[in-house]
């Protein structure tokens, strides 16, 4: 530690006032990167996005049977997604907070196809079997899910490079909970949320 401090001081003395820049900026970047790595505090969990999701829920008259949150790519991973905001209104996270590969679920499909997706669990089909056979989740994943969900919708948020940078996820305890009109409204909302990211 003393050697590192001596090197930093040496760089500052050698480079003059610019020395501070070359020492402090890399240290700040490393510390910020370590914070992401160990805590995965995603920069998108800011209060204005949470407020936007709550407003969508409230002014869209979505009802208490619908939950809404935001998913994004997992930090330092190109093939994993995770829930980065709590569900609006209830303020809790679901099993998606730990993240999963984008080959799974309706969220993964949304990221891969870059299109809004809707899924209905048929009344005659078992929830667990649907999640495993249709969406690629294993028993461990399914055990952490709420089996009373009947409808799902995921709407992509596109970045400037034309790639999905996040997705608005909704689920419901009722069948046929999501309309084409809601899908279109959320797509427009996604454009506004993209400006916050």
Vertex 73: Cα angle to 68 and 77 (nearest 5): 150
Task: Map out the domains of the chain as residue ranges.
Answer: 2-39, 47-196
Count the alpha carbons within 13 Å of 125 in the hemisphere toward its beta carbon: 15
Q: Look up residue 16 and give its two tokens.
A: 């003059």
* Architecture category of domain 47-196 in CATH: 2-Layer Sandwich (3.30)
Closest CA to 96 of 87, 88, 42, 197: 87
CA 154 to chain centroid: 11
pLDDT in tens, the chain (197 residues): 444 444 444 444 455 444 443 434 344 434 344 334 334 445 554 677 778 888 888 877 788 899 999 999 877 777 899 998 888 878 888 888 888 989 999 999 999 999 999 999 888 788 888 899 889 898 888 888 888 889 999 999 988 888 888 999 999 999 999 988 888 888 887 877 777 66
Closest CA to 89 of 126, 146, 51: 51
Give the pLDDT of residue 154.
96
* pTM attached to this predicted model: 0.73
Q: Look up residue 72 and give its two tokens.
A: 């994004």
Q: Look up residue 144 and give its two tokens.
A: 């952490």
Give the pLDDT of residue 50.
79
Q: Look up residue 75 and give its two tokens.
A: 């930090």
Residue spans of alpha helices (H) in the chain: 2-15, 17-39, 47-59, 105-113, 127-133, 139-143, 180-196
Closest CA to 171 of 57, 48, 44: 57
Cβ atoms of 72 and 44 closer than 8 Å:
yes
Residue spans of alpha helices (H) in 119-179: 127-133, 139-143
């Amino acid at each position: 530690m003393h050697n590192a401090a001596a090197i930093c001081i040496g760089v500052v003395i050698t480079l003059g006032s610019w020395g501070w820049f070359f020492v402090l900026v890399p240290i700040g970047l490393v510390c910020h990167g370590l914070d992401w790595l160990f805590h995965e505090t995603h920069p998108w969990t800011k209060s204005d996005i949470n407020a936007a999701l709550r407003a969508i829920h409230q002014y869209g008259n979505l009802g208490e049977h619908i939950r809404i949150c935001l998913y994004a790519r997992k930090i330092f991973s190109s093939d994993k997604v995770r829930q980065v905001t709590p569900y609006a209104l209830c303020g809790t996270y679901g099993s998606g907070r730990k993240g999963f590969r984008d080959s799974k679920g309706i969220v993964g499909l949304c990221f891969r196809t870059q299109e809004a997706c809707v899924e209905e669990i048929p009344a005659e089909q078992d929830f667990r079997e649907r999640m495993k056979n249709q969406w690629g989740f294993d028993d461990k994943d399914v055990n952490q899910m709420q089996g009373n969900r009947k409808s799902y919708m995921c709407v992509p948020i596109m970045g400037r490079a034309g790639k999905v940078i996040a997705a608005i996820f909704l689920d419901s305890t009722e069948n046929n909970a999501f309309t084409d009109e809601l899908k279109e409204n959320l797509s427009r909302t996604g454009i506004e949320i993209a400006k916050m990211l």
